[in-house]
Amino acid sequence: MVIALLLIAGGAAAGAFGSLLGLGGGILIVPLLTLGFGLPLREAVGVSLISVIVTSGAAAAVYLERRVADLRLGMTLELFTAAGALVGALIAFLVEERLLAALFAGLLVYSAMSMWRAGRRKGGAPDGVTGYVVRNRGRGAVASVGAGVVSALLGVGGGLVKVPVMHLVMGVPLRVATATSNLMIGVTASAGAIVYLARDGIDPYVAGPVAVGVFVGASIGSRAAHRVPLPQLRILFVAVLLYSAVLMIRRALAVG
Nearer to other proteins, 173 or 192 (CB): 192
Q: Which is nearer to other proteins, 87 or 240 (CB)?
A: 87
**DSSP assignment of the chain:** -HHHHHHHHHHHHHHHHHHHHT--THHHHHHIIIIIT---HHHHHHHHHHHHHHHHHHHHHHHHHTT-S-HHHHHHHHHHHHHHHHHHHHHHTTS-HHHHHHHHHHHHHHHHHHHHHHHHS--PPP--SSS-----HHHHHHHHHHHHHHHHHHTS--HHHHHHIIIIIS---HHHHHHHHHHHHHHHHHHHHHHHHHTT---HHHHHHHHHHHHHHHHHHHHHGGGS-HHHHHHHHHHHHHHHHHHHHHHHHS--
- Answer yes or no whether residue 113 interacts with other proteins by CB under 8 A: no
121 is a site residue for other proteins (CB under 8 A)? no
Q: Which of residues 132-161 bind other proteins (CB under 8 A)?
A: none
Answer yes or no whether residue 239 interacts with other proteins by CB under 8 A.
Answer: no
Q: Which of 1, 125, 133, 255 binds other proteins (CB under 8 A)?
A: 1
* Binding footprint of other proteins, residue count (CB under 8 A): 57
**Candidate ranges 14-22, 76-84, 122-130, 160-168; the one touching other proteins (CB under 8 A):** 76-84
248 binds other proteins (CB under 8 A): no
**Site pattern 182..211 for other proteins (x: CB under 8 A):** ----xx-xxxxxxx-xxxx-xxxxxxxx-x
Is 112 or 187 the residue whose CB approaches other proteins more closely? 187
Point out which residues bind other proteins (CB under 8 A): 1, 3-5, 7-8, 37, 50, 53-54, 57-58, 60-62, 64-65, 67, 69, 71-72, 75-76, 78-79, 82-83, 85-86, 89-90, 93-94, 186-187, 189-195, 197-200, 202-209, 211-212, 215
